[in-house]
Amino acid sequence: MWERPLREYCESTTYTTIHINGMLEHYDANGFPGIDFDFHCQWPTNKQSSYTVTGTKGFSLLSCPSIGEDIKYCQNLGKKILITIATLDFLSSVDDGNRSALNIWNFFLGGTVPQNSGVSRPFSNAILDGVELFIESNDPNPQYYTALLKTLRGYMDLDSSKKYFIAGTSRCVYPDTFMGPGTGKPYTDVPGIFDYYNVAMLSTPNLCGWFVNMAGFYSTAITWNSWITSLSSPKPLYISIPASTDFVGDYITPTSLFSTIQQLIFNNSQLGGISLRDVSYDDINLPCGGIVGTEAAKIAVKYSSVIAAALQGSQPSCNILPETNWTAKMSSTTSTSVVVATHTKITFSSASRTQ
């Protein structure tokens, strides 16, 4: 689905953190991270100058300076920008994990690319605010991500000039096949490394879909919340829901968002907010009306606007707040934060409750 440039979402939404998808291979044919951002930045149009079009497998390191400029622009507006690690290749050793962590640090975060490498940072001098780990590839070696995460956190902690974030995202079923908790899995081996957790309540509607299995939806959230509260240092929990009716069985209607979110807040002490998949869907989901693709639609009330209001305890009404100024009003008067993460093109969104 088509998406506007990243900076436009930073300008026109209440999102405060955006996850851009993403890093899809630990190692391309030259040993560097394989990335792709669909039409925003893709092979071979945006290939690194030293790469040849022929003979390059899978995803490759790209040159995406325009995204880099958007990242800095968004950060100047107070937004946090993370990259999603959703790799399709597997780590095969602790050394693999350590090398991938060094690449992530050098190419996306606060490190530098060796001068003799023949490549450059994909986002130029833009420094991302962290990473999201969301592995759906059936990688049989989750234990090697322990090394990756510990090494990466070590690099982050050495940089006193900036706060970096590591987010963990799992599917709804507890425990998650890859992330855990469980022996040899990231949520058990290094739970303290994560700054917040996303649980994706989508794609398995019979188990945790709000529309198909509402009881399962609420009980799954409680189960994850209970695990988080059992940790020595509990972190926020984000419940991830779709922003589109395309996710049959999972979608929460706008008129039901207020009661659903209030129930989640009541049941889950660690609830940090609601995540959305993804910004391209949110952009065309206009509960109060509007013509998709127009300039007015950019600032119209979106699905995420309703969520942000509900997290503050407000039951919004299109008749009370004109759609032309509602989003702007919320942006300037609330402490609600919105986490955006996308697992399709460039962005996936969520909103945080007011503490």
What is the structure's pLDDT at 57? 56
Which pLDDT does position 352 carry in this prediction? 55
What does the pLDDT look like over 125-166, one tens digit per residue? 999 999 999 998 888 999 999 999 999 999 999 999 999 999
**Predicted pLDDT at 279:** 87
**240-299: pLDDT as tens digits:** 999 999 999 999 999 999 999 999 999 999 998 888 888 889 889 998 887 777 777 777
pLDDT at 28: 94
Rounded to an integer, what distance in angstroms lies between the CA atom of residue 204 and that of residue 248?
Answer: 10
The predicted structure's pLDDT at residue 322: 37
User: Which pLDDT score is estimated for 318?
Assistant: 74
| pLDDT tens digits, one per residue of 16-37 | 788 999 999 999 999 999 999 9
pLDDT at 227 over 70: yes
Rounded to whole angstroms, the Cα distance separating 89 from 208 reads 28
Alpha-carbon dihedral 181, 184, 188, 191, rounded to 10 degrees: -120
Question: CA 130 → CA 9, 20, 39, 163, 287, distances in Å?
Answer: 19, 11, 23, 9, 32
pLDDT score recorded for residue 122: 97
What's the pLDDT band for 336 if we cut at 50, 70, 90? very low
When pLDDT is cut at 50, 70 and 90, the band that residue 167 belongs to is very high
What's the rounded mean pLDDT across residues 40-68? 87
Q: Span 77-101, mean pLDDT?
A: 95
Chain centroid, CA 308 distance in Å:
17
The predicted pLDDT at position 325 comes to: 34
pLDDT > 90: percent of the chain: 65
